[in-house]
A and B are shown apart, each in its own frame.
Chain A
């Protein structure tokens, strides 16, 4: 293992590999990604990997739009060969609206989205029936739909970024655990790993659910916590659902991946915040009740497997792209609050601009740590 690097990224999930890729793309050299296990072993490989551009703030709309457009062009941009399929399915995202309050907010969101070039629209129940015949529209007032939203395969997408990063000269060390970030007089000097020390003056914390622990190794305190979210997968069947279905008020999301499986999740109460990703026996029952009410034909579909991953929560449920006050050379990209996968290309672009001192093309200056001290939070209405 080479013992020096210009940039060390901690974390081989989707954020780590996108940051690595964009750094290399914009001319950085000697970029190393350190991953404790293997690529996408953490939250990335456990997520639903849905992407939507239907947000309620300009900031999130712009970042999500950038990301979706990146995924649309990923095959060329990342030079993905025939050996890999990121399984990008653009069947749209259908947000179900079941309360008047949601309806009023959705109308505002759609006006904002349309003004930013996101062609979302409000659907009546008959249009909902056409787009998703399996869905029961009982208790549903309307839907918000954007047909360019969709989902990807998180493992293969991470692999595609990783290969592009390596092709540009980046180095990835898997099974490499960082135990300490070394500093000297307010500057980062390197990282200690189970495979030796790497001297560097720039460390990027992209450790997902473990971001606050990694920051603590450098003596940096982040206003983040991680909470367990559950998800399950069914047997594979022929395509019966095209869009991702999501509802804030009914508390679920559900999608059918190209392989044929349905993947679904919901937010459960009383989830541990101690980095545990063990199975919650109450989740599949609650999920089954929710989903069979929303989509009655799914009663016959068989669940195969449940698992869990960590949402890395920030105070305003928006990401942190930031340098660390008081520690030069330490950067953090974390706190996605459940949206890290869909925002990953924006994460890579933003962090590369931030670290390399480029002019911002995305609104990342708004996402610094200073917003929490100033009480200048981002008020995003469209988060779980």
Chain B
């Protein structure tokens, strides 16, 4: 019982096997795989299917039943299922690379989206690494209910195991968000002899964007402190200047000329 879907949120192999279409159907072309295990009041999959392949519900709490012969793997239901519980598997995808791969079409709501040609991490139903997978298509248009569909090519053997992907973002430690400066750039200036916060500001515009140094200056001072081997409190602090917080010129113009009165 403690390894059950109710406890872990992860279906067992037997449950996944039961959710998969028979091998003969998989061999014929793309088809939806619905992994909906719990009776809840939810039926958009059935109402979304133009071919009636997902059978009409007698009770809104029903678990969907699919007529695999009617399903052509169009992916419409993928974008309608709020639980992202449906994927499409195409064992007949023509793999031009000569490898023996199938395509899995996944609803994928995280950002950033991968782009075609990316190698992403294929994950199993517990979120564990399975293999690297090549992205072969990324779809998102206005009819898709804001649910992108990412298609990945994976070894046919892995089709029953792979259920998600992870897109690894390039590791980049941003120091200044206003002017998009990262740690490597700031480090390069420090190594190049720019060893005061005022010089760094003037050369890179660090600290002079909309945040006016609230985020970046302490980070940059920390970097300077480590690079120079000096305690941070011995470094010259940055100059903070009025207006401290940004203010629209139109609002400023409403004040009297002394600059200290009300509009």
Which one, B203, B241, B246, B253, contacts A285 given CB within 8 A? B253
Q: Compute how far the CA of A302 lies from the CA of B248 in the bound complex, rounded to whole angstroms.
A: 4
The segment out of A135-143, A231-239, A240-248, A369-377 that lies at the interface is A231-239
Check if B212 sits within 8 Å of A304, measured CB to CB. yes
Q: Compute how far the CA of A345 lies from the CA of B238 in the bound complex, rounded to whole angstroms.
A: 31
Interface presence of A194 (CB below 8 A): no
Interface presence of A159 (CB below 8 A): yes
**CB-defined contacts of B196 to chain A, threshold 8 Å:** 38
Q: Compute how far the CA of A281 lies from the CA of B255 in the bound complex, rounded to whole angstroms.
A: 11
Binary B-proximity of A123-166 (CB < 8 A = 1, otherwise 0): 00000000000000000000000000000000110010000000
**CB-defined contacts of A41 to chain B, threshold 8 Å:** 198
Which one, B179, B198, B202, B250, contacts A288 given CB within 8 A? B250
**CB-defined contacts of B243 to chain A, threshold 8 Å:** 284, 303-306
Count of chain B residues with a beta carbon within 8 Å of a chain A beta carbon? 27
Interface of B is mostly: loop
Closest to B194 in A: A38
Min C-beta distance of A63 to chain B, whole Å: 26
Min C-beta distance of A103 to chain B, whole Å: 28
Which one, B241, B253, B255, B260, contacts A306 given CB within 8 A? B241
Q: Compute how far the CA of A234 lies from the CA of B208 in the bound complex, rounded to whole angstroms.
A: 10
**CB-defined contacts of B58 to chain A, threshold 8 Å:** none
Check if A305 sits within 8 Å of B212, measured CB to CB. yes
Check if B253 sits within 8 Å of A288, measured CB to CB. yes
Check if B247 sits within 8 Å of A303, measured CB to CB. yes
Q: Compute how far the CA of A288 lies from the CA of B198 in the bound complex, rounded to whole angstroms.
A: 27
Closest to A175 in B: B196
Check if B208 sits within 8 Å of A233, measured CB to CB. yes
Known contacts A38-B198, A41-B198, A305-B208; A281/B248 CB under 8 A: no
Interface presence of B14 (CB below 8 A): no
Min C-beta distance of B180 to chain A, whole Å: 11
Interface presence of B69 (CB below 8 A): no
Min C-beta distance of A173 to chain B, whole Å: 13
The segment out of A73-81, A88-96, A291-299, A315-323 that lies at the interface is A291-299
Min C-beta distance of A26 to chain B, whole Å: 27
Q: How many A-B residue pairs have CB under 8 A?
A: 91
**CB-defined contacts of A287 to chain B, threshold 8 Å:** 249, 252
Interface presence of B199 (CB below 8 A): yes
Interface presence of A1 (CB below 8 A): no
Q: Compute how far the CA of A292 lies from the CA of B198 in the bound complex, rounded to whole angstroms.
A: 31
Q: Compute how far the CA of A282 lies from the CA of B247 in the bound complex, rounded to whole angstroms.
A: 15
Closest to A40 in B: B202
Q: Compute how far the CA of A69 lies from the CA of B30 in the bound complex, rounded to whole angstroms.
A: 67
Q: Compute how far the CA of A45 lies from the CA of B201 in the bound complex, rounded to whole angstroms.
A: 11
Q: Compute how far the CA of A85 lies from the CA of B171 in the bound complex, rounded to whole angstroms.
A: 27
Check if A285 sits within 8 Å of B259, measured CB to CB. yes
Interface presence of B177 (CB below 8 A): no
Known contacts A38-B199, A305-B241, A306-B243; A292/B253 CB under 8 A: yes
Check if B210 sits within 8 Å of A279, measured CB to CB. no
**CB-defined contacts of A301 to chain B, threshold 8 Å:** 248-249
**CB-defined contacts of B179 to chain A, threshold 8 Å:** 259
Q: Compute how far the CA of A291 lies from the CA of B252 in the bound complex, rounded to whole angstroms.
A: 11
Q: Compute how far the CA of A288 lies from the CA of B250 in the bound complex, rounded to whole angstroms.
A: 7
Min C-beta distance of A228 to chain B, whole Å: 14
**CB-defined contacts of B210 to chain A, threshold 8 Å:** 235, 302, 304
**CB-defined contacts of B256 to chain A, threshold 8 Å:** 285
Check if B202 sits within 8 Å of A155, measured CB to CB. yes
Check if B242 sits within 8 Å of A306, measured CB to CB. yes
B226-263 with Cβ < 8 A to chain A = 241-243, 246-250, 252-253, 255-260
**CB-defined contacts of A300 to chain B, threshold 8 Å:** 248-250
Interface presence of A216 (CB below 8 A): no
Check if B241 sits within 8 Å of A45, measured CB to CB. no
Interface presence of A25 (CB below 8 A): no
Interface presence of B56 (CB below 8 A): no
Interface presence of B134 (CB below 8 A): no
Q: Compute how far the CA of A234 lies from the CA of B198 in the bound complex, rounded to whole angstroms.
A: 19
Which one, A155, A235, A281, contacts B203 given CB within 8 A? A155
**CB-defined contacts of B257 to chain A, threshold 8 Å:** 282, 285-286, 289
Min C-beta distance of B108 to chain A, whole Å: 32
Check if B253 sits within 8 Å of A299, measured CB to CB. yes
**CB-defined contacts of A234 to chain B, threshold 8 Å:** 249
Binary B-proximity of A17-44 (CB < 8 A = 1, otherwise 0): 0000000000000000000011111000
Check if A281 sits within 8 Å of B198, measured CB to CB. no
Interface presence of B125 (CB below 8 A): no
Known contacts A156-B203, A285-B259, A305-B243; A299/B250 CB under 8 A: yes
Interface presence of B205 (CB below 8 A): yes
Q: Compute how far the CA of A18 lies from the CA of B210 in the bound complex, rounded to whole angstroms.
A: 33
Q: Compute how far the CA of A282 lies from the CA of B253 in the bound complex, rounded to whole angstroms.
A: 11
Closest to B244 in A: A305
Binary B-proximity of A352-381 (CB < 8 A = 1, otherwise 0): 000000000000000000000000000000
Closest to B249 in A: A288
Q: Compute how far the CA of A303 lies from the CA of B258 in the bound complex, rounded to whole angstroms.
A: 18
Interface presence of B209 (CB below 8 A): yes
Interface presence of A307 (CB below 8 A): yes
Min C-beta distance of A381 to chain B, whole Å: 28
Q: Compute how far the CA of A301 lies from the CA of B256 in the bound complex, rounded to whole angstroms.
A: 19
**CB-defined contacts of B250 to chain A, threshold 8 Å:** 288, 292, 298-300
The 3 closest A-B pairs by CB, nearest first: A299-B250, A288-B252, A302-B246
Given A299-B249, A303-B243, 5 further pairs, Cβ under 8 A: A233-B208, A285-B258, A298-B250, A302-B246, A302-B249
CB pairs A–B below 8 angstroms (17 shown): A38-B198, A155-B202, A236-B209, A283-B259, A284-B242, A284-B243, A284-B252, A284-B259, A285-B255, A286-B257, A287-B252, A289-B253, A292-B249, A302-B249, A303-B247, A304-B246, A305-B241
